[in-house]
Structure 1
Amino acid sequence: MKHPREVLLGAQAATAFLPVCDHYSGVEARMRKSLQLQAEMIEEFGACVFDVTLDCEDGAPVGGEADHAAMVVELAALASDKARVAVRVHAVDHPAFESDMAIIAGKLARQLSHIMIPKVDSIEDVIRAEQALLAASAGNLPLHVLIESPLAVRNAFEIAAHPRVQSLSFGLMDFVSSHGGAIPADGMSSQGQFTHPLVVRAKLEIASACHAYGKVPSHCVVTEFNDSVAMILAARRASRELGYTRMWSIHPNQIRCILEAFAPSESEIEDATRIIAAGARADWAPISFDGKLHDRASYRYFWQVLERAHQTGSLLPIDAQAYFQDASH
């Protein structure tokens, strides 16, 4: 019997199945702690529920880019097979970009989950990054790109369409500052980023571009990292209102907040389990369930609820657990 993911998603089954949280760290001590925390939570949940992205762009001291890249390689090589580790390199127009790609992608092509490219403005930037991957014999690595300017937002659909691109992230801080003061500082706050029209428009464009091409939209940071309530509210709005399926963390305290906010409720998980089971018994033909019609369209939705529950480490009913025993799903 085919897996529900193959039956219900069709070509979309090839879409990246990424953790809902992407955790960034740029200082060696914090990188080590992040990798250790990831290992502990893999043990806790039985799956990798967040990525660790080791940061070269903001983490490397000026003039020390090569040493920082070598340190990142050393740390990433220590991660377990179950870990998901990525690296953010410098932008394609930075003097250290080529060196970053040669050192990091060249030595970690099999260990890394992806490479994050910041400050991507156009499809030409993506092509240049892809060429650097190929030159480093790392042609298997997906690219994640960071959208940080009005021009990049304008080109988001073309960028998302590139087959090498797996995910688009929104860079809130650089996006606001790129407007030369036209967007007030409040546009970077946990509340203002959901109310300023230009910021909200950018977020919607990025999410729409991703969904149009089966890519993963990743929401921006919340800088108030000690305010768990603000973090959960922002993550919930990103997920429920703006269509994001992934979000950045910049402090360990934010990781569980993101998992909680992106997770379906217990009642949603229970309903999805029952509907998927009923659909499977009917060989995915239309059914009447609790007085409502369900067919392939609604089956697809409820299957995605179960996928999101699994991604966030939520407790699944026994009937649903079997769908996720195979790591390939």
Structure 2
Amino acid sequence: MEAALRPYRSLLYIPGSRERALEKARDLAADGIIFDLEDAVAPDVKVEARATLKAALAAGGYGARARIVRINGLETEWGRDDVAALNGSGAEALLLPKVNSAADIETLAGLSDLPIWAMMETPLAIFNAAEIAAHPRLEGFVAGTNDLAKDVGCRTRSDRLPMQMALQTMLLAARAYGKVCIDGVYNQFKDDEGLRAECEQGRDLGMDGKTLIHPAQLAIANAVFAPAEAEVDLARRQIAAYEECVAAGQAVAVVDGKIVENLHVETARKTLARAEAIAAMG
């Protein structure tokens, strides 16, 4: 499946140290798994977790789900060994924490041929978002909203107003260079209403999907970040009406009382492609 079309509605964090969770992840309705060797793993079991994760990836069984591994920072005692162990392991990409500039991406690129994702979780990362997104080895951004809020010192609000500048900056940078952009986690995993509201906000901003901390959050994220039936129906009708007008030598169609130009048709085609890619995930 082409990277541009691949669904990333839901990326679920799974600790690399938990064998049972790694096994269960093979059957979860997630578009992707972020296998975590960093924050979710205590220092005294990081080496063991690396071996556990490597064995799980080698065993396979994760189907069409994206397999992204968040390694430890390269400045730590574990980071470079993580990279060495994961090259050729079955991981599809490496997620680098605490990225501050494109130089951090370049350092990792020199250690691995795998695609690279960046955790955008520091003030410097936001200021340097465009140069990070421009790196040819960079495939996507993951918003690290918890760490970013800590560093900025902003308060947690349901509308995420203090986080909007950062979210929109990383999103604009990602879109400028054709990269994926995934929203941060929602910490209250038993609050379905709050999760849905935050997913809808991320979707409306333009995010490709959301990172999740619990399997119970998957259904809501998958539903919110998928085109609704009404959107798919409208997209089909817009394309059909526009093509009919073009065939008649005109450049503008009208659907449901609204004009449809080439830019609307481009969006409509993307909507249909996204729906088809989600259907292909099974």
TM-score norm. by structure 1 comes to 0.76
8 Å contact from structure 2 (residues 7, 274) kept in 1: no
What letter matches 1:74 in structure 2? Answer: A
Q: Secondary structure at the match of 1:93?
A: coil
Alignment counterpart, residue 253 of structure 2, candidates 288, 291, 295: 288
Aligned to 2:203: 239
Q: Secondary structure at the match of 2:270?
A: helix
Aligned to 1:22: 11
8 Å contact from structure 1 (residues 79, 85) kept in 2: no
Aligned to 1:31: 22
What letter matches 1:151 in structure 2? Answer: L
8 Å contact from structure 1 (residues 35, 52) kept in 2: no
Q: What 5-or-longer segments of structure 2 have no aligned partner? A: none
Residues 70-115 of structure 1: per-residue CA shift (max 9 Å, x gap): 11011112223534322111112111111000001x232xx32311
Q: Partners of 2:173 and 2:7 in 1: how far apart?
A: 17
Structure 1 residues 261 and 170: CA distance shift in structure 2, 3 A:
same
What letter matches 1:225 in structure 2? Answer: F
1:158-197 correspondence to structure 2 within 5 Å: 158-179=131-152, 182-184=153-155, 187=156, 191=158, 194-196=160-162
Aligned to 1:75: 56
Aligned to 1:96: 78
Q: Secondary structure at the match of 1:166?
A: strand
**Displacement after TM superposition at 1:58 (Å):** 2.0
Aligned to 1:87: 69
8 Å contact from structure 2 (residues 9, 226) kept in 1: no
1:291-306 correspondence to structure 2 within 5 Å: 292-306=258-272
1:251-270 correspondence to structure 2 within 5 Å: 251-270=214-233
**Displacement after TM superposition at 1:207 (Å):** 0.7
Q: Partners of 1:29 and 1:127 in 2: how far apart?
A: 34
Structure 1 residues 54 and 63: CA distance shift in structure 2, 3 A:
same
Are 1:205 and 2:187 matched, yes or no? no
Aligned to 2:37: 56
Q: Secondary structure at the match of 2:181?
A: strand
Alpha-carbon RMSD: 2.5
Structure 1 residues 16 and 147: CA distance shift in structure 2, 3 A:
farther
What letter matches 1:129 in structure 2? Answer: L
Q: Partners of 1:237 and 1:96 in 2: how far apart?
A: 36
How many residues in Structure 1 have an aligned counterpart in Structure 2? Answer: 275
Q: Partners of 2:3 and 2:102 in 1: how far apart?
A: 22
**Displacement after TM superposition at 1:16 (Å):** 6.1
8 Å contact from structure 1 (residues 16, 215) kept in 2: no
Residues 170-214 of structure 1: per-residue CA shift (max 9 Å, x gap): 1111111113xx323xx2x5x15x122xx2111111111111111
8 Å contact from structure 1 (residues 52, 84) kept in 2: yes
Q: Partners of 2:258 and 2:164 in 1: how far apart?
A: 35
8 Å contact from structure 1 (residues 168, 217) kept in 2: yes
Q: What 5-or-longer segments of structure 1 have no aligned partner? A: 1-12, 42-48, 134-138, 314-323
**Displacement after TM superposition at 1:293 (Å):** 4.2
What letter matches 1:69 in structure 2? Answer: R
Q: Partners of 1:84 and 1:156 in 2: how far apart?
A: 23
